Structure 1
Amino acid sequence: MLQTITSYLDWFGVCVFAVTGALVASRKQMDIVGFALMGSVTGIGGGTIRDVLLGLTPVFWVQKPSYLITCISVSVATFLVAGFMQSRYRYLLWFDAVGLALFAVTGASTALQHGAGATIAIAMGVATATFGGIIRDIMGGESPVILSREIYITAALLGAGVYVSLVVIGTSQDAAIVAGFICGFGLRSAALMWQLSLPRYRPATDRNPE
């Protein structure tokens, strides 16, 4: 049952990420092809990098073109209603948080299933959850998500780390998935609500003298 729910949420995450990519295209006033490109890069970019780094070829969306078709379809739909969705972008960030937490867990799970060690699995979880957004921002000429003051990548790291740690100590797969998702989503949600961020480096010249 949980695997079925996770599968549905995986598709949900792809759709949400595709929408966020398409909305960047709307802010840059791209044509419908630009929407499709930005949406696809965001929706499947992280998983593509994961598969390439793990040597899993052909990558997942080549084996299942329905992922690419979904990204293109969602992007085209967003092209038609971008004005409505852009005004509600803040709400979309909450759906993005769901995708972030879920992809962190499923990305780590995929790595473990193909023989990766714990450290690499966690790294692949983070890559799956965040690299699509990073590529989107670079292509769209926007400040990359890794430079955001709010906690983002750290939430993916927490979710993937909790999941892998529980699997390593022998916790059931279902329990590990739930725990990893809750931790990743919980941290990202807290960051959205209270603008949480990690301490940042300040040059010595900016610090108050003692």
Structure 2
Amino acid sequence: MKSYSDTTYAILGILTTDCKSGYAIKQFIDQSLNHFWKISYGQIYPTLKSIVEEGFAEVRISSTPGKPDKNEYYLTPKGKETLKSWLEKPIKQLPVERNELLLKLFFSRHQPKERTLLLLESYKRDLETRYQTYAAIEQAIANHKEKSEDAMYWLFTLDYGKRIAEAAVAWCEDTLNKLLNEGVS
């Protein structure tokens, strides 16, 4: 079977939800996937075009009085089978994190310790904000989970994000303490 980009598979997956237009897909990405998978607006329409060309989806024109017509995309049986086949394959490799903070910390011997402390404190605050965002998303999903068969799986990915954020906050606290107590016996 031919292999496609992860963006193709992500959009096939999104098309299993109520998101059918390019705009709705982008909103869905921004509100859910963006926390762990980035897809730019510029990738969406070319991918949708490719998906249609491959026969994975069909386009239907949706008309609403007083609004311009819009294209809506619906998975075909071939598209559903392609998504299913991809889901069943093992992952290719463990993800490799690109983290600017860790890169800067790695070379922080070359800056004043106060700057490194500020960098870590700022990062910790950002992580705490991210955790609160995840908690709010979790509450929104929990309030509406009976409406979606996907809710349980969305909560699994959200739990992963929350745990990563918690661990990173704990790491920041530990690293800050070690830097602050450096040289203290």
Q: TM-score, normalised by structure 1?
A: 0.37
Q: Point out which structure has higher relative CO (alpha carbons under 8 A, 6+ apart).
A: 1
Structure of larger gyration radius: 2
More helix as a share of residues: 1
Q: TM-score, normalised by structure 2?
A: 0.41
